[in-house]
Structure 1
Amino acid sequence: RSGYLLDAIDTAYRTIGLDVAADNDDVFAGLVTAQILQPGSKYDSIRVLAEAGATSASYSTIKRRLPRYATDEFRDAVTAVCADHAGIGPTSLVLYDVTTLYWEADEGDGFREPGFSKERRIDPQITVGMLTDVNGFPLRIQAFEGNRAETKTFLPSVEAFMDTYDLHDVTVVADAGMISEANRRDLDAAGLSYVLGGKTRELPYPIWKWRNDHPGVEYTHDQIWVSRDPGDPAKGIRPSRTIYHYSADRARRTVKGIDESLRKARNIAEGKTPVKRNRYVKMGKTTKEVNLELASQHRELAGIKA
């Protein structure tokens, strides 16, 4: 049975074109096969392949080959065959996300450094960004310093992908968590078009004006307001348009969450429950108060997305 499995992996490997990208490097092919069979260390790949009935290079040979696999040229070659196999073209959608890999070490080395960890670890780590096609097929992987913010990995990965394929017309679509204001300026400077999910911290002017012109009138589901920004050519900021959308279902869920958080905040302020993190609790040196003003601001924005 292991023979069938090894044949299937080898067929997929060659169908994608990884054998060509790696210049028929059997060591690289063995490492790829071992990671599919049982993800683990480079040293452990020798055991995994042996148990599957395949031969492996020695550990010293594997270590000698690693510097080549870490070069930009090698990564670009792998990226090229993966994107060709996925049929990436002018109208393709590609996805980007990041994760972190940590080391059980006491100190960083300039690359493996402590940083933001979703697992709340304090060990040195690296940040890894990956581009995939719409089906999740990997196109490009890139590693960054462990203390680099996720938002700072986005543009370098996109630009490297564009360079590999000599792409010029790319539209970036991202949520507010991935794109900071500094990133938006970088996108402008790079000449990239973008569609970004925005964070709305206060009532936008077009909605404020609509409410002022329609006192006492409730929003309707799927209502839309549009704001246009002329940009600032001197600073390299192009004209943009912001679309604000109201959803009654989204508003209902948001208000329900606000009410629940307020209930917990009142219990904390009255000493009925221990102090816990709550955005509606204002902590003084000796007092605890419910922040009704902040809750009112959030209610005003309930259901609105930019």
Structure 2
Amino acid sequence: MTTRVKSVNLSPSPHRTGRACVWVEHEGRVLMVGLEWGGWTLPGGGIHPEETGAQAAAREAWEESGARVEVTGEALTLGGGVLCFPARLLSLEPSPEGRPVTWVNPRSLPWANDVQLRQVLAGMGETPPALALPERVSVALAEAERLGFDRSCSLEVGRLLRTLAASRPGGCLAELGTGTGVGAAWLLAGMDDTARLTTAELDPGRAKVARRVLGDDPRAEVLAGDWRKAIPHGPFDLLFSDCAPSKRETESLEVLVDALRPGGMLVLDNFSPPAHLPEGLHAGDPEREALWNYPGLICTEVAVSAGERIILAARRG
């Protein structure tokens, strides 16, 4: 059941120059505060024009959690440019905003996989081995950053791809839209030695980079060109459709389904949950409708994070 936190916002000013939070660790546990829509987060909020990031972090710690803290070091930059400052706890009183607080072990699951906590742990070089990125994924992500390419699959989708690939021993897999090779690297991390992967990338520069990232793995073949170049390499046991022309046009769905073996699975990412749908889709999402109503598919939708869902579609036997 979702927890609803009745709280007030003591700093509602819209004039903010950024966001800051605190990492308050005490006896191996980290302080977190309750979110109004459920779950937990590091104490933090907006930086006011007259404040430094450290001052804002300390103020927000008090307002949200009742913690008086002293910032003890430089900030780590988390996703979205949020500054996270290490801090020492001086005292703890009831939250002035009325929020619940808790102390969690950030190095133990599930907390180590929290989107904020895992970023801080990574910045401190303390990522638990079970959550470490495969080396090839790290290389592909670094190449994406170098090229300014921001459309690689998310970490959550990547882990799911690795698991799905492991469920297809000796399988024939495909990816439509290689980018710099992030998704392909996740798939390879789950594949066994007898499985094969074909991945296609339209952009010649990115295809060249992906070949460099993946090229020493004999299980992978990178095709430069339109996604349809990969289709003749099927039929596929697993097909990750990750480029707009193949998953955002209803007329291509028949091609994708025909490329699957009976029982084969089509994976499509980047679907927004209802709370994040743009107004234009409030009357319904044609892409979802096309997938769920296609007679040759059995579909389910899976939330991989608070802001992203994927659709898994299995071809009927």
The TM-score bracket by the shorter chain reads: under 0.3
Higher strand share: 2
TM norm structure 1:
0.24
